[in-house]
Chains A and B, each alone.
Chain A
Amino acid sequence: MTDVIVKATKIKRRAKLFIFINKNLTKIPTEKNAVISDLFPIKKGNDWYTEFELLNVTGLIMGDNNESKPYVVNFYFFSSTGNILGSRSVTVENIGRKTIKLSELMIGEIKEAATFSVFHPPIYGKTDMAGSFLAERGYSGYEYRNLGVKGYVHGNLDAVALSNSKVEPVGNSGLIPRYYTVQHCLRGPAKYEFVFTNPTSKTIKITPNVYLNRKKWLTKKSFTLNSLGSHTFTVDIKENEKAYVRFKSKLYLGRPVVFRISNDSMDVFHG
């Protein structure tokens, strides 16, 4: 009898997986020499500074980040509607870590960028990658109101591949919408900002639901994200209030980066 139940449970799980996650979470890039990056949110305005901790990822994979040749990395900048606004090359001198101040790169046509990706030189051919692709998964650092200490968060979704100067979204989405409940109880007083990026090649509709003070789920106004676009959904929670938030979409992993702003300080984490 136990065997029957175990078998039935396995079949049920496989059926659910086929319905909800019938492809890899991330597509394999078309070109073998592609490199992959997350889409990292940029916080702008008088209160915010965004930085990025740039490392010699090729060197870290090869087992030696002491490079005599210049190591050039390309930052690609995207608008909130997913358009590429431009790119900037950054040379990592022969050092372990270079902290990039985004505001120093974001001039001219990329001033209004909402997200960025970081593409390292192709590693294909330099070492046996066992079918893998180099991936930049971050860390972005965010400083709020000159507090002097950054909150770090890694990239949330493997989003974009670059090969031969061509950008390719690599996130997958499903056929039917599903909920993602942020694994965090919202506590006031605080302003919460949920930053979504769309790693897929499709336009994605996201519907937020908020469950405030144990009453009922309230459906908020939906928003759409173009391919490689981004959007920030904001919730204000008053003192002594608590809430959950969930998002309905076809994204396999509809996880936002979460900023919690409270008492002149902030907290950032991947949701």
Chain B
Amino acid sequence: MFFPLMKTPNLEGFCDLIYAGPNNWENRVHKPVEIYLLWSNGENWISKKLMEMQVGDEARVTTADVDKECLATGLALIYPSLKSLDPQLSSLPSKKVWYCEIPAWRNTAGFYNQFTQVSYQADIEPLPPKASLLTFHPFIQFGEVINNLLVLNVTSDPKIQSGKISMFNSHDKSFVADSLISTNSLTTIPLDLYSFKPTDLPIFYSPNIAGIPFGLGIAKSGKMLSLEHTHPPASLVLHGDRRDIQGKIKKSWIEKLVKA
């Protein structure tokens, strides 16, 4: 289990770590852990030890604290390890140290500026190297606000590959624009140039790269930030074979969007 440290233009990122699991009955790890920062240089995962943490400790890591080279892709990962890591890794470590399922072991990641901060309960496991993404984005705000789409991708393979993400208007299926997202990166896509209306629901579709999409709103005054992830299509239903339903929803939309 990894925790993201994310950088986006004009904001610094943070990750607040607490060595305290979410429940008192699953993974009762108590050993000291070494906290590593991992980032991809396109060929390897580079590791740097940041600190050690004991049970009950807390620590804040910010993008202002780490070298710019660690955040060239907008993303570094924080990984608690029970043993020392090599300085270069050909794939991400597979051992899950801070890990629970009900509920998931998370930490708080987000962004801040001089006025305020915005938080997200974050954890991420590596995504499959080849997967698709389809999501609906209801977070565009209007007035004195800057709207961005963020796409967070992590794969075990350190290669950084880019792929197309296409933007459509869900209602009339009209094509809006293409952009690029990359693996092992946080990609920031400005949305205000597309003149979406308050009644529009944009769809984003990436045929080759999966990711966690976020809506990021930044008040032009800087005094309020807004960050929330969009849902995958499976979240529109509960119980039953949600994977089957998700497949059907994606297929149905993709058929229409590709024709658009």
Using CB atoms and an 8 Å cutoff, list the residues of chain A in contact with chain B. Answer: 16, 19-21, 25-26, 28, 36, 53, 55, 57, 60-66, 93-99, 127-135, 137, 139, 144, 147-154, 158, 178-181, 183-185, 187, 214, 242, 244, 252-253, 255, 258, 260, 262-267, 269-271
Contact = CB atoms under 8 A, between A and B. Distances in A.
B239 interface: yes
Contact of A181 (B20, B199, B235): B20
B236 interface: yes
A180 B56 contact: no
Residue with the greatest number of chain B CB neighbours at <10 A, chosen from A55, A99, A127, A148: A148
Contact of A133 (B102, B240, B256): B240
B249 A63 contact: yes
Interface string B2-31: 000000000000001010111111100000
B102 A183 contact: no
A183 B252 contact: no
Name the 9 nearest CB pairs between A and B, nearest first: A63-B252, A131-B240, A96-B201, A132-B240, A265-B116, A132-B237, A130-B241, A95-B199, A152-B228
Given A60-B233, A178-B23, A26 B239 contact: yes
B194 interface: no
Interface in B187-221: 198-201, 215, 217-219, 221
Given A20-B25, A53-B139, A253-B103, 20 more contacts: A60-B233, A60-B236, A61-B233, A63-B248, A63-B253, A65-B170, A93-B199, A94-B171, A133-B238, A150-B226, A151-B228, A183-B105, A183-B106, A183-B121, A184-B18, A184-B119, A185-B18, A185-B108, A260-B119, A264-B223
A255 B104 CA distance: 11
Contacts of A137: 231, 235-236
Contacts of A20: 23, 25, 102
Interface of B: 16, 18, 20-26, 56, 58, 60, 102-103, 105-108, 110, 115-121, 136, 138-139, 141, 143-145, 169-173, 198-201, 215, 217-219, 221, 223-226, 228-229, 231, 233, 235-242, 244-245, 248-249, 251-253, 255-256
A252 B198 CA distance: 37
Contacts of A135: 235-238
8 contacts: A63-B251, A130-B242, A131-B240, A132-B240, A135-B237, A151-B228, A152-B139, A153-B228
Nearest to A144: B224
Contacts of B245: 61, 129-130, 132
Contact of A267 (B58, B117, B218): B117
B238 A97 contact: no
A244 B238 CA distance: 32
B200 to A, nearest CB: 5
Contacts of A66: 171-173
Contacts of A179: 23-24
A63 B134 CA distance: 12
A260 B16 CA distance: 15
A55 B136 contact: yes
Contacts of A93: 199
A139 B226 contact: no
A147 B118 CA distance: 14
Contacts of B58: 185, 242, 244
A270 B190 CA distance: 25
Contacts of B172: 66
B236 A134 contact: yes
B240 A130 contact: yes
B23 A25 contact: no
